[in-house]
């Protein structure tokens, strides 16, 4: 092959200088490089392989970064990162100081809009396109969104608005691979994928014309209508045209020469005032790398793997993941209670609800990337006597806040929220941190809010939440449990009751969720120094155990709270409010994540940096008591 084209590409300017006939070779090189680099460092493989040609073509035709390219989620953008000077960064993708797995404005001028959550790209691109108009600038905005992202209601809110504005400098590129992380869901997805071959459509139209021509004159009106409905049936574009978009497609999204020509045409159409335009490209997730193309689901987000065989490094045996304990417990509970149904918003695998689906297919709902709908759908089910459990990551539930407030809590409906990935999430970074859920939930009426100290307690809490007749939320972290033994029987926990795990008279450590075990270790360390610290497993952030917290605080000289959550408005704040109410005057320190954006990195190191580990907790107690280590 000789010298690699990719080595001469520092920015999209270089791509634009490349003779067009070399574009296929560039795509091949990028694809090989993505496979090679992701095989070492992990990342979003299949989605990124599916978008290589689209990204090369968009950067070739449009004047990025002057023209704005907005990627939805950002997980399909590795070719984009490679074309914009970040190839070397892949060695530390998702690691501290390295490039992100998603998009951040701070990372590159070619990332004009940060992302990580799905469904935002069209709204953001429309805002930009509008801003150019306000500034009197001749610039364009292009949103690249997957068919999964398109299941987010917000994407349609944006299309509706863009169509209303007749936004002439906006292009939406729909990267349609019929997959979300798992196969995409929904009527829209099947509508879009109703792909008929062009000759077939022509033939059908020919037959229709013949038939229409044979009709008597007074039936012409009816006939025109019939032709219209035929078009509706055969073109996925009608939906978008009804929203005032010009529809281009469906086009083959891996033929870069076709894409280059299409985008040149699109550019000319924009110049002609024909926007907004929707380009519908058909792609294959994992394209060009056998194992990923055969099983794009397995290769959506990967750790290190062997390029030749596609085999992943065997995972070390260890304690079960929290998400599996959640799903397996839910299956147990659902066997006993037919009213239990499970809901996910496109994260059947991430929440392990795929296990539930296998056992109870008719009691499982994947609603697509539609967290708002998931919550109100759950509320509807609950209002008619079902017991829905909505498993939504802490970070994604943010999206459905008003639905939690207005549709669940205000109406006191029996919905259980299983909030996975609550706390520090590691490589996924700032957009995915489960850092705010205590704060955004603990103010809500009727809601019970809890967090287990380990995977064994998760079982009990899930049962507690499901049996509680009103709204209840359980937060639990990403990854594996602690390896504690499981109680054979799953039991409910008395609502609002904390658990005293260790008594002590000098200091009280009130720990919530994942921080309980480090607090116990800290207390053991302090005991060796002659400091007696009580450790209270709070279990509930709402309602708080007023009696126990108040009583223990009264007889200790210092109180430390600890949680894996933002400090402001979190669990420690709740304890401070209580102690204030009780007129407590002793020293209190709340250990929590400070008011900073927590980027990707190693969660253990981050806990350490924030003083939330054993060492940090012990240090805080010593400092409050004025004792040197
Ligand atoms: C609001 C929100 N919910 C869930 C996710 C998790 N998620 C990341 S990528 C993805 C699938 C996206 O599918 P699509 O847009 O079609 O892209 P593809 O991976 O198929 O290329 C999902 C559900 C997310 N990023 N944001």
Where is 450: in which H helix or E strand?
strand 448-450
Res 548: pLDDT: 98
Angle at 272 (CA atoms; ends 271, 275), nearest 5 degrees: 80
What's the gap in Å between 502 CA and the centre of ligand 1?
44
What's the gap in Å between 543 CA and the centre of ligand 1?
34
- pTM score of the predicted model: 0.93
C-beta 369 within 6 A of ligand 1: yes
Q: What is the mean pLDDT of residues 395-405?
A: 98
pLDDT at 549 over 50: yes
C-beta 512 within 6 A of ligand 1: no
Res 224: pLDDT: 52
92 — pLDDT class (breaks 50, 70, 90): very high
C-beta 146 within 6 A of ligand 1: yes
Quote the tokens at residue 253. 């999204």
Q: What is the mean pLDDT of residues 526-555?
A: 98
pLDDT tens by residue, 450-497: 999 999 999 999 999 999 999 999 999 999 999 999 999 999 999 999
Nearest CA to ligand 1 atom 21: 47
pLDDT tens by residue, 612-626: 999 999 999 999 999
Cα gap 462→324, rounded to integer Å? 13
What's the gap in Å between 75 CA and the centre of ligand 1?
8
Out of 135-139, 294-298, 387-391, 538-542, pick the least confident.
294-298
What's the gap in Å between 181 CA and the centre of ligand 1?
6
42 — pLDDT class (breaks 50, 70, 90): very high
What's the gap in Å between 218 CA and the centre of ligand 1?
51
What's the gap in Å between 182 CA and the centre of ligand 1?
9
Round the average pLDDT of the chain to a whole number and report it. Answer: 93
- The one catalytic residue among 37, 87, 104, 285: 285
- The one catalytic residue among 104, 387, 399, 478: 399
pLDDT at 427 over 80: yes
C-beta 181 within 6 A of ligand 1: yes
Out of 186-200, 267-281, 362-376, pick the least confident.
186-200
pLDDT at 231 over 80: no
pLDDT at 99 over 50: yes
Q: Read off the DSSP letter of residue 273.
A: T
Res 214: pLDDT: 56
pLDDT tens by residue, 507-538: 999 999 999 999 999 999 999 999 999 999 99
Res 613: pLDDT: 98
C-beta 147 within 6 A of ligand 1: yes
**Are 415 and 382 in contact, with CB atoms under 8 Å apart?**
yes
pLDDT at 183 over 90: no
What's the gap in Å between 243 CA and the centre of ligand 1?
24
pLDDT tens by residue, 560-593: 999 999 999 999 999 999 999 999 999 999 999 9
Res 315: pLDDT: 81
Nearest CA to ligand 1 atom 22: 181
What's the gap in Å between 140 CA and the centre of ligand 1?
25
Give the residue, out of 34, 73, 146, 150, with the most ligand 1 atoms within 8 A of its beta carbon, to mutate for a pocket test: 73
pLDDT at 213 over 70: no
Res 343: pLDDT: 98
C-beta 373 within 6 A of ligand 1: no
Res 219: pLDDT: 54
C-beta 420 within 6 A of ligand 1: no
pLDDT at 223 over 60: no
Ligand 1 atom closest to the CA of 350, numbered from 1: 6
**Are 177 and 297 in contact, with CB atoms under 8 Å apart?**
no
Q: Is 37 annotated as catalytic?
A: no
Angle at 440 (CA atoms; ends 439, 445), nearest 5 degrees: 105
Half-sphere exposure of 78 (CA within 13 A, CB side): 32
pLDDT at 196 over 50: no
Residue 407 CA: distances (Å) to CA of 175, 379, 424, 475, 607: 33, 6, 28, 20, 35
**Are 73 and 24 in contact, with CB atoms under 8 Å apart?**
no
Q: Is 205 annotated as catalytic?
A: no
pLDDT tens by residue, 301-359: 999 999 999 999 888 889 999 999 999 999 999 999 999 999 999 999 999 999 999 99
Ligand 1 atom closest to the CA of 146, numbered from 1: 15
189 — pLDDT class (breaks 50, 70, 90): confident
C-beta 50 within 6 A of ligand 1: yes
Q: Is 358 annotated as catalytic?
A: no
Res 217: pLDDT: 56
Q: Among 451, 454, 504, 447, which Cα is nearest to 479's?
A: 454
204 — pLDDT class (breaks 50, 70, 90): very low
Q: What is the mean pLDDT of residues 186-213?
A: 58
Res 332: pLDDT: 98
Give the residue, out of 118, 284, 345, with the most ligand 1 atoms within 8 A of its beta carbon, to mutate for a pocket test: 118
Quote the tokens at residue 96. 């501290």
- The one catalytic residue among 29, 33, 53, 371: 371
What residues have CB less than 8 Å from 501, skipping those under 6 apart? Answer: 516, 520, 535, 536, 537
- DSSP characters for 15-53? HHHS-GGGHHHHHHHHHHHHHHHHHHH-EEHHHHHHTHH
pLDDT tens by residue, 257-274: 999 999 999 999 999 999
Ligand 1 atom closest to the CA of 399, numbered from 1: 1
């Amino acid at each position: 092959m000789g010298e690699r084209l990719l080595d001469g590409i520092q920015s999209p300017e270089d791509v634009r200088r490349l003779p067009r006939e070399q574009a296929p070779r560039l795509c091949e090189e990028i694809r090989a490089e993505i496979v090679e680099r992701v095989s070492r460092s992990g990342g979003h493989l299949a989605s990124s392989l599916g978008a290589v040609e689209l990204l090369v073509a968009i950067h070739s035709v449009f004047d990025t970064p002057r023209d704005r390219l907005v990627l939805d989620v950002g997980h399909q953008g590795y070719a984009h990162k490679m074309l914009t000077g970040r190839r070397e960064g892949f060695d530390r993708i998702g690691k501290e100081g390295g490039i992100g797995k998603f998009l951040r404005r701070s990372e590159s001028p070619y990332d004009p809009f940060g992302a990580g959550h799905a469904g935002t790209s069209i709204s953001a691109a429309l805002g930009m396109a509008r801003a150019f108009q306000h500034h009197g600038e001749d610039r364009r905005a292009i949103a690249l969104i997957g068919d999964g992202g398109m299941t987010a209601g917000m994407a349609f809110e944006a299309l509706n608005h863009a169509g209303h504005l007749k936004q002439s400098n906006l292009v939406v590129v729909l990267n349609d691979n019929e997959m979300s992380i798992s196969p995409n869901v929904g009527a829209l997805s099947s509508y879009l994928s109703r792909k008929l071959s062009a000759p077939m459509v022509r033939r059908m139209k020919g037959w229709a014309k013949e038939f229409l021509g044979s009709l008597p004159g007074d039936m012409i009106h009816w006939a025109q209508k019939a032709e219209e409905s035929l078009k509706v049936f055969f073109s996925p574009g009608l939906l978008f045209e009804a929203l005032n978009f010009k529809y281009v497609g469906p086009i083959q999204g891996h033929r870069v020469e076709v894409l280059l020509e299409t985008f040149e045409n699109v550019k000319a159409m924009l110049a002609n005032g024909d926007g907004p335009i929707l380009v519908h490209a058909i792609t294959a997730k994992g394209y060009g790398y056998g194992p990923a193309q055969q099983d794009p689901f397995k290769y959506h987000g990967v750790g290190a793997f062997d390029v030749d065989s596609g085999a992943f490094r065997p995972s070390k045996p260890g304690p079960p993941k929290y998400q599996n304990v959640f799903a397996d417990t839910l299956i147990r509970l659902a066997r006993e209670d037919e009213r239990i149904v499970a809901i996910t918003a496109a994260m059947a695998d991430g929440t392990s609800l795929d296990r539930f689906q296998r056992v109870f297919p008719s009691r499982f709902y994947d609603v697509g990337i539609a967290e708002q709908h998931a919550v109100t759908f759950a509320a509807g089910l609950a209002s008619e006597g079902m017991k829905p459990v909505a498993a939504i990551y802490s970070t994604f539930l943010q999206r459905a806040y008003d639905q939690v407030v207005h549709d669940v809590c205000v109406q006191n409906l029996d919905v259980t929220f299983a909030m996975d990935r609550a706390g520090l999430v590691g490589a996924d970074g700032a957009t995915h941190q489960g850092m705010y859920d205590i704060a955004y939930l603990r103010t809500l009426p009727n809601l019970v809010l809890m967090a287990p100290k380990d995977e064994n307690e998760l079982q009990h809490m899930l049962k507690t939440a499901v049996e509680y007749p009103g709204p209840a939320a359980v937060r639990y972290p990403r990854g594996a449990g602690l390896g504690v033994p499981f109680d054979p029987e799953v039991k409910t926990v008395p609502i609002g009751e904390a658990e005293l795990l260790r008594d002590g008279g000098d200091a009280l450590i009130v720990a919530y969720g994942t921080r309980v075990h480090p607090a116990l270790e800290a207390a053991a360390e302090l005991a060796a120094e002659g400091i007696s610290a009580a450790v209270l497993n709070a279990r509930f952030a709402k309602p708080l155990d007023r009696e126990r917290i108040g009583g223990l605080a009264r007889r200790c000289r210092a109180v430390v709270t600890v949680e894996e959550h933002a400090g402001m408005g979190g669990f420690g704040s709740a304890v401070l409010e209580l102690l204030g109410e009780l007129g407590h005057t002793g020293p209190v320190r709340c250990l929590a994540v400070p008011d900073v954006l927590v980027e990707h990195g190693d969660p253990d190191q981050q806990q350490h940096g924030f003083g939330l580990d054993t060492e940090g907790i012990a240090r805080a107690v010593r400092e409050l008591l004025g004792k040197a280590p």
